[in-house]
Structure formats: C-alpha cells, structure tokens
Amino acid sequence: MSSVPESGPGWGDLLTRDRLGVTIVLAGGTALYAISSYVTASLLPTAIGEIGGARYLAWATTVFVVASIVSSTLVGAMLAARGPVGSYLTGFGLFSIGTVICTVSPSMSLLLVGRAVQGLGGGLLMGLGYAVIHQAYPAALRARAAALVSAMWGVGTFVGPALGGVFAQLGPWRLAFACLAVLTVSVGAIVPIALRGTGRSGHAQRIPAVSLTLLMAAAALVSVAGVLPRGGWTAAGVVAALLVVAGFLTWERRAAVTVLPRLTFVKRSPLRWIYLTMVAVAIGISLENFVPLFAQELGGLAPLAAGFVGAAASLGWTLAQVVSAGAQRPGTVDRLRLAGPVVLTVGLTLTALTQIRHAGLSTLLVWVLCMMIAGAGIGLAWPHLSAAVMASSPDPAEAQQAAAAIGTVQLIATAFGAAISGVLVNLGEPSPLRSARFLEFGLAAIAALGVAAALAAHRAAARTSAQRQPALTQS
C-alpha cells in the first residue's frame, strides 16, 4: 500500500491562472469583513465628536454582528437561488451600500443603518468564503483555501486599526469608510469573471425563520451583555443568551427547515463535535480585544505599540496555518486537530502566568511569545477542522450546507467570546492585573473544553470509519 504524501498541492496552486480570481474573491470578502470590524472600533470615538450619539456607540457593533449572523445562515438558500456569482454580487453590493451610508452619515442613527446593511453583506461574504471552497477547489486544496480565508482575520487585525487610527488622528474619519467602499467595489468587480465557471448549487429550502429569530435574539443578548453594568447583570445577559442558543439547538433538532445540516444531530456523527471544537478555539482569539489595554496599563506602552502587541495572537494563527495547512496524512491531520486546542490552552495559561505590573521589555516580549503560541493553536487546527466539515457528508448539498455553516459558527463564537471576555475583565476590576488573569485563565478553560470536543470528534470519526470498512470489504 502506498503512503499518502505529507504535503499535497502547494500554496501556489491557489494562485494558478484558473484559480487566482476565485482566491482573490473568497479571501477578499473575508478580509473586508475583518477590516470593517476593526476599523469601525478605531473610528467611532472620533466620529461621535462630529455626529453625536455617544450613548449608542455599542450598538454600532451590535447591529453589525446581529445582521451578519442572520445573513450568514441564508448562504445555502442564496447559492441555490442565485449561484456563486449572484450571491457574491449581492454580498459585495450590500456591503458597499452600507459602507457608503456610513461614509455620508450625518447622525449616529443613519450610521447604525449603514452598519446593519454592512453586516447583511458581510455575513454573506463570510459564509460564502467557506461554502464556495467546497465547490471551487479539489479536496486536496480545501484545507489550504480555508487557511487562507481564515488568515484574512489576521490581515484585518493589522490593516483595520492602522487605517482607522490614521484617519481618526488626521481628522477626516469618513475617508476610511470611503477607502473601504472602493476596495469592496474593486473586489466585487471581478466576481463575474472569477466565478464564471461555477454553477448554481446550495441547499434550496424555505428561510428558517424560527432559527433566525432565535439566533438574532441570542446575538443581541450577547452584545447587550457586553455593555451592561458589571457583575450580576452582565452574567445574566450571557446566561440568557446561552439559554436562547440551547433553544435554537433544540428547535434545529426537530424542525423541517434548519440552519445546520441534519448530520449535526445524528448521534454517531462527528460533525457536532467538530463545530464545538471550532467554537472553543474561535473564542480563544477574543483575547485580542483587551490585550492593547493591558499592554498600556501593565506595560506602559503607547497606544500604537500596544495595538501591535494585541496582534501577536493573529500573527501566530497566520504563521501556523501556513505550516499546518499542507498536511495530508490522516494521522497527522488528526493530531493537528487535537493539538490545536491543546496548544491554545497552554499559550493562554502561560500568558496569564506571566502577567505582572510594570512589565519591562523582556516581559513584554515573553507576553508576545505566549500569545503567538496561543494563536498558533488556532492556526494548527482550523484548516483541518474546516476541511473535516466540508468532507462530513457524501451528499454534495449537505456538505455545502455544512461548509456554509462554518461562517455562522465562527460569527456566533466571536460574539459570545467578546461578551464572555467582557464579563471576565469586569470581574477583575478595578485591578488591571486581576482582569488580565481572569480573562486569560477563563479563555484557557474554554479552550480546554475544545480539547474534550476534539477528542470526542476523533472517537466519533473512528467509529464511523470502522462501520464503513466492513461495507467496503463486502463490496
């Protein structure tokens, strides 16, 4: 029996003449979403000085996240109705319209409308980024394509704060949104050419209205929990959101029209455990939301330098993906899926243990290294978790629905991660050292749950493979 090579097609195979366009579209759509998430956070404090509405500042994120989650669940139906070209044009069109509204907004109320429209387009772009991988690339390239798409969050971590910070400091904050609109139109313009060989696909069904309502309520509760007074109110908001998510899963198990594929709820299927592993590792990156604050308060860094320290986890994530995405041997891939949450747990724990007041340069460098280790854990596992989802069913329509749900799962995890991080930081106040340790140990505990989920996925996959083997032998 010939062994499977450790490395299949290389990164260059994503950039061949017949794949370059689709690679730009998939990666560009996710990058625009990530950049928008970070650039808005940098700009809004300056914007409210001109347009007012400080009391609604948190809602600029809330409406964006809620709209994104809702539209990401419609990717399968959109692909069935309009195909990849029409779906991507819709996503880029909505995103550009929302960005233009933000650019010209004379008031916070209109800016919130723009953010909602942006979110509708962004959620489609996020979901399509994974769903179209299943159709546009051969199986051997899907892990690399998924790694490239998810690495765009690292691009957003650098470009977003830099773009927003420069224009906020210079004064004309609206130009940052204008630049984002130009980028959106530029990438969207190549969609008809880049995706012309892809046909209509997806999961044709009615809109899962009840599931969408429950997801929207959960996302809203999570976002509101992040701005409630610390303590009992914040915890109550998170608990309420978790209860709504439990209601969503209960409904999905029994409903005729669903967001998640049916395979998620099949008893012996590994898909549910793969999704749970993805949630656990995606929540871990929430650390980045608060690292710049801790770097300033504990390390005495200037805001710009603190921002780059905050990007250390994304850098580790991106670098690890470059190395791990080429693995092909089943045994190696299985170990990477398990090693990811383990490395993430270790990195977060080390970061917590090394936090001290009045940190010097050497300690800051240790923090950066520990956060890069944590980020590397995500990068080791994510491409292969994504590929496992795409290969979860022999039915192409069901496999694509599962792939489209990756974006929804990631968005939900990001929303919950932000809210849970806010709760943990609030528990440590007024001490920034205690807040940092609560956050990092808390996220490490969640990552450890990801280890358990990865083990459960491995066992379920092994049972499924063992059951298929006799059938293959008989045939």
Residue 462, pLDDT score: 81
Can you spell out the DSSP letters for 244-281?
Answer: HHHHHHHHHHH-SS-SS-GGGGSTT-SHHHHHHHHHHH
Q: Given pLDDT bands bounded at 50, 70 and 90, which one contains residue 201?
A: low
Share above pLDDT 70 across residues of the chain, in percent, rounded to a whole number: 91
Can you spell out the DSSP letters for 355-367?
Answer: --TT--HHHHHHH
Residue 262, pLDDT score: 86
Average pLDDT of the chain is: 85
CA atoms of 77 and 218, how far apart (whole Å): 22
CA atoms of 62 and 70, how far apart (whole Å): 12
CA atoms of 362 and 384, how far apart (whole Å): 35
269: left (phi over 0), alpha (psi -120 to 50) or beta: beta
Query: 223 near 62, Cβ under 8 Å?
Result: yes
CA atoms of 143 and 153, how far apart (whole Å): 16
CA atoms of 68 and 121, how far apart (whole Å): 7
Residue 27, pLDDT score: 93
Question: End-to-end distance of the chain based on CA atoms, in angstroms?
Answer: 19
Query: 344 near 378, Cβ under 8 Å?
Result: yes
What topology does CATH give the domain 261-468? Growth Hormone; Chain: A; (1.20.1250)
Most trustworthy range by pLDDT among 221-225, 311-315, 383-387 = 383-387
- pLDDT 10s digits, 87-103: 999 999 999 999 999 99
Please state the pTM of the whole predicted model. 0.84
- pLDDT 10s digits, 416-475: 887 788 778 877 878 889 999 999 999 999 999 999 999 999 998 887 666 655 544 444
Q: Given pLDDT bands bounded at 50, 70 and 90, which one contains residue 397?
A: confident
| Neighbouring-strand partners of residue 7 | 327
Q: What residues contact 234, with CB distance under 8 A and at least 6 apart?
A: 225, 226, 228, 422, 423, 426
CA atoms of 259 and 72, how far apart (whole Å): 9
CA atoms of 277 and 152, how far apart (whole Å): 20
Q: What residues contact 122, with CB distance under 8 A and at least 6 apart?
A: 32, 33, 36, 64, 67, 68, 71, 91, 95
What topology does CATH give the domain 13-201? Growth Hormone; Chain: A; (1.20.1250)
Most trustworthy range by pLDDT among 78-82, 126-130, 443-447 = 443-447
* The one-letter amino acid at 1: M
Residue 440, pLDDT score: 94
What average pLDDT does this structure show over 345-349?
97
- pLDDT 10s digits, 8-54: 577 888 888 888 999 999 999 999 998 888 787 777 777 888 888 77
* Whether pLDDT at 138 is above 80: yes
Find, among 293, 266, 273, the residue nearest to 452 by Cα: 273
Looking at residue 229, the DSSP 8-state letter turns out to be P
Phi, psi of 259 (to 5 degrees): -90, -50
Buried (b) or exposed (e) across 271-292, using 16+ Cβ within 10 A?
bbbbbbbbbbbbbbbbbbbbbb
Query: 115 near 177, Cβ under 8 Å?
Result: no
Query: 53 near 109, Cβ under 8 Å?
Result: yes
Residue 441, pLDDT score: 96
- pLDDT 10s digits, 149-185: 888 887 887 787 777 777 777 778 899 899 999 999 9
Residue 1, pLDDT score: 35
What average pLDDT does this structure show over 229-246?
80
Task: State the residue for tokens 């010097």.
Answer: 360
Query: 225 near 219, Cβ under 8 Å?
Result: no
